[in-house]
Amino acid sequence: MVIGVLALQGDVREHVRALGDAGATARPVRRLAEIESADGLVIPGGESTTLWKLATAFDLLDPVRKLIADGMPAFGSCAGLIMLADRLQDGAEGQQTFGGIDMTARRNAFGRQVDSFEREVALRLGDRDDAGTVGEGAPFHAVFIRAPWVERAGAEVTVLGEDNGRIVAVRQGPLLATAFHPELTPDRRIHELFVKMVKGTS
């Protein structure tokens, strides 16, 4: 099993390392053939308008959109959440996404770069302790950098986490997205969840 990390812009190296820690073989991908040969795709945090423009320039926007629509597992953090949203609020003029998750993402929702912050967020990841009990709302140290949030989520979207009432982590089928950057922390639970999701579809 190989998971590709879209290497157009953003925290590529950090996601590759986190996926390796989570037990996956991970590699940067930027050509369509490399993406198609992967079992899953991570869209890293960075800047969503830059990701959109580069994906367009490299003729990846529509092909990756189709791969995701056809069932390729994908995980997006921060800007990656925006790229997996079916709808945008406060997007750049003409901005497009890969889509896949029935949600509206609001860009820069928590503020600009100067408003970045870190805090504990309760996540419902289905964690199990040694006794086999599923943890509800286990804390995760989340890093928010010029972060979006999910303004609205469709009926098929499972909300995995909120911050002060704002949706910051979601899942829909084989798609996973967080408004924060789990790749920047030593906590690998989100990457481990995505590895399990990829294994479940391969």
DSSP assignment of 84-106: HEEEEESPPTT------EEEEEE
Q: Give the helix/strand (H/E) hosting 190.
A: helix 189-201
This prediction has a pTM of 0.91
pLDDT digits (tens, 9 = 90+) for 21-61: 999 999 999 999 999 999 999 999 888 999 999 999 999 99
Higher pLDDT, 79 or 116: 79
As a whole number of angstroms, the distance between CA 170 and CA 156 comes to 10
Answer yes or no: is pLDDT of 128 > 50: no
Q: What is the CA radius of gyration of the chain?
A: 15
Tokens of residue 158, six digits: 């499972």
Catalytic residue among 14, 15, 36, 78: 78
Length of the chain: 202
Catalytic residue among 14, 183, 191, 192: 183
Catalytic residue among 14, 15, 181, 192: 181
- Indicate if 141 belongs to the active site: no
What average pLDDT score do residues 100-126 get? 82
DSSP letter at 113 equals: G
- Indicate if 15 belongs to the active site: no
- Indicate if 183 belongs to the active site: yes
Burial class (CB within 10 angstroms; exposed 0-12, middle 13-18, buried 19+) of 2? middle
